Structures are given as C-alpha cells and as structure tokens.
Amino acid sequence: MIDVCLLGTGGMLPLPKRFLTALLVRVEGRSVLIDCGEATQVTLHRTNFSPVTIDHILFTHFHGDHCSGLPGLLMTIANSGRTAPLHLWGLPGLEKVVRGLTVICEYLPFKLVLHELPADQGEGFEAAGLQWQTCPVKHRVPCLAYSAYLPRIGRFDAQRAKALGIPVTYWSRLQNGEEVVVDGQSFQPSDVLGPERRGLRVTYATDCRPSDQLTDLARGSDLLIAEGLYGDPAKQADAKSKGHMVFHEAAHLAKAAGVDDLWLTHYSPAMLDPKEFLPATRNIFPQTQVGFDRKMTTLRFKEEV
C-alpha cells in the first residue's frame, strides 16, 4: 500500500490556513517528499509522519514556492536524529540551488546526495521501494511531473511449490523475490509465482500545461494529483500565460488518462474557496476532489479494498 499526504496546497504565497506546495508519499515506513515549500516542516509536524523517515526529496522545479522550505526541513530532520544519507532529486542546477538554500545549515549530521534529472526527456529511477518516472512539462521554467509505481508480484502457487519439493520454510523468501537452494537445487521466484499483478500508481503534476506526454505519464493512475491554479474557466488565458492549469483542464487530463481519482492542488492565493468550483469540475470528471492541507489517503491493491 501507499500512504499519500498533501502537506501543502498553496501556490505562490502561503495563506493562514494554506501552506505552500509539498506532497509526502510513504511505503513501508519510508517516505519521499515531492517539493518543499516554505514551512513544510511545520505542516509536517501536524501529521503522524516523522521527518526522520524522509529518504528522498524530489523537486519539480526551482521556483521559491516549491523549494524555499528546504533549509528549515533539513534542520528539523537533523534534530530528529537522522544520520543516514538524504537523497535530493531535481533538474540541472540542483547543486547550485541546494548550495544556496543550505548556507544557513551550518552542520547536518547526514550527507546530501544529489541526483540531477534531464530537463528534455523522461527518466526512470528507484526510490523508497517505488519505481519513479519523470516527464518534462510545459511551464515558464524547466519543470518535471513525477509518477510513482509500486509493483506487485504474481500470486504464489503453493501446489507448484509442493510439486517441486520446496519446503514451506522457503516460501516466504521466494515470495520476497529471493532465490533459494534446497538440497543443492536452485529455485527462482519465477518457478512458483504467476504473472505480475497490477500495482499502484500515483502521479503528481503541478505548474504545468496539459500535454500528451503528461497524459501518458498519468495513464491508469490510482491517484492523480494535479494543479488547478484557478477554478474559474474565465481565467484560463491568464493561467496559460503563466504556464499553469485551471480546474477544468486538470479534469480533462484525468479523464483522458483514465485515472481513478483526481485531487486538485496548488491554488492561487486569490482563490479562497476552491470548493466553489467543484460541481462544475465534477461534471467533467466525477471523481474529482478538492485537495486541502494534510489531506491523506492510503492506496491499496484492488483485492484488498
């Protein structure tokens, strides 16, 4: 299963009840943070997620509302007792941005490991037990969308395992993807597992315009978290000029990608009540929800629901 928490849903400027952009994704106790707006550590403190479990921080781009919270979060993590390396992922220029933001972090008890991702093409990598894929998106500056996939192994064939003479004590290791040796004979997980089953996918796209590439990235997601800078369709031209989406564009994206659910986020500070525009948006994609700070869900494999 995957735990998802929208730590902040604000764009550009924070509001008294709306923190800036940040999303936390957790699998088996380890967390990945996507974007780190100002005071992310404060909104994180109001959840049951521990900062010390964050192993990776992914940046969509380097506008201030997506990365200015890094020094405060790093110092919070440092005070939580972490000593293991912390991995930071982002576009070319990551090192310069991190160096500037961490000037005030005089001492960190853990190493920062930087990973630059290409701005002109998608790239895959693994982080915290998830398979990640990026997609360049259309914004005023280079920007990435991220999609995380949690694979699921095939069903274990107990009858097949018995027929092969594999003792029960070895079954869990095979289910965990390990090779086992019994009386000198080697057995692979593929010997006793069926075809890989459908896993879980969550996709995050903010500060961007719709595109075919983004639709492909989000295709079949259990949850798409997409920006809606404005809810009013009349503001589409303004959003487009700034490289952003409005509610109905995010809904059309979700519909085209065949996702299960859509959460809206990254609201303009001028839009005080996003729910006002929800009914019209649901006319396009009924499974639309208005995101809010610390909105949480747990994605489960379909048979577990």
- Based on the fold, state whether residues 133 and 165 are members of the same structural domain: no
- Based on the fold, state whether residues 108 and 36 are members of the same structural domain: yes
- Based on the fold, state whether residues 119 and 247 are members of the same structural domain: yes
- Based on the fold, state whether residues 69 and 184 are members of the same structural domain: no
- Based on the fold, state whether residues 38 and 79 are members of the same structural domain: yes
Q: Of 143, 173, 195, which residue sits at a domain end?
A: 195
- Based on the fold, state whether residues 130 and 233 are members of the same structural domain: yes
Catalytic site positions: 65
- Based on the fold, state whether residues 54 and 142 are members of the same structural domain: yes
3-state secondary structure the chain: CEEEEEEECECCCCECCECECEEEEEECCEEEEECCCCCHHHHHHCCCCCHHHEEEEECCCCCHHHHCCHHHHHHHHHCCCCCCCEEEEECCCHHHHHHHHCCCCCCCCCCEEEEECCCCCCCEEEECCEEEEEEEEECCCCEEEEEEEEEECCCECHHHHHHCCCCHHHHHHHHCCCCEEECCEEECHHHCECCCEEEEEEEEECCCECCHHHHHHHCCCCEEEEECCECCHHHHHHHHHCCCCEHHHHHHHHHHHCCCEEEEECECCCCCCHHHHHHHHHCCCCCEEECCCCEEEEECCHHHC
d(CA 269, CA 293): 14
Binding site residue list for Zn(2+): 61, 63, 65-66, 139, 207, 266
In order along its 305 residues, the chain shows pLDDT tens digits of 999 999 999 999 999 999 999 999 999 999 999 999 999 999 999 999 999 999 999 999 999 999 999 999 999 999 999 999 999 999 999 999 999 999 999 899 999 999 999 999 999 999 999 999 999 999 999 999 999 999 998 888 888 889 888 899 989 898 888 889 988 899 888 888 888 889 999 999 999 999 999 999 999 999 999 999 999 999 999 999 999 999 999 999 999 999 999 999 999 999 999 999 999 999 999 999 999 999 999 999 986 54
d(CA 69, CA 295): 19
Confidence (pLDDT) at 170: 85
Q: How many CB atoms lie within 10 A of CB 137?
A: 23
Which range of residues forms the domain containing residue 177? 154-195
d(CA 188, CA 136): 38
Residue 304 lies in a domain: no
Residue 276 lies in a domain: yes
Confidence (pLDDT) at 305: 42
What's the number of domains the chain is made of? 2
Residue 73 lies in a domain: yes
Residue 305 lies in a domain: no
Confidence (pLDDT) at 153: 85
d(CA 144, CA 217): 11
Confidence (pLDDT) at 240: 96
- Based on the fold, state whether residues 109 and 174 are members of the same structural domain: no
192 contact partners, CB below 8 Å, separation of at least 6: 156, 157, 160, 161, 164, 166, 171, 174
Residue 59 lies in a domain: yes
Binding site residue list: 61, 63, 65-66, 139, 207, 266
Residue 33 lies in a domain: yes
- Based on the fold, state whether residues 31 and 58 are members of the same structural domain: yes
- Based on the fold, state whether residues 121 and 245 are members of the same structural domain: yes
Token pair 């006793």 is at which residue?
A: 192
Q: Put residue 131 in one of left, alpha, beta given phi > 0 → left and psi -120 to 50 → alpha.
A: beta
Q: What is the CATH number of the domain that holds 110?
A: 3.60.15.10
Confidence (pLDDT) at 159: 87
- Based on the fold, state whether residues 282 and 147 are members of the same structural domain: yes
Please list the residues that pair with 25 across neighbouring strands: 4, 32
- Based on the fold, state whether residues 54 and 71 are members of the same structural domain: yes
Residue 270 lies in a domain: yes
Residue 158 lies in a domain: yes
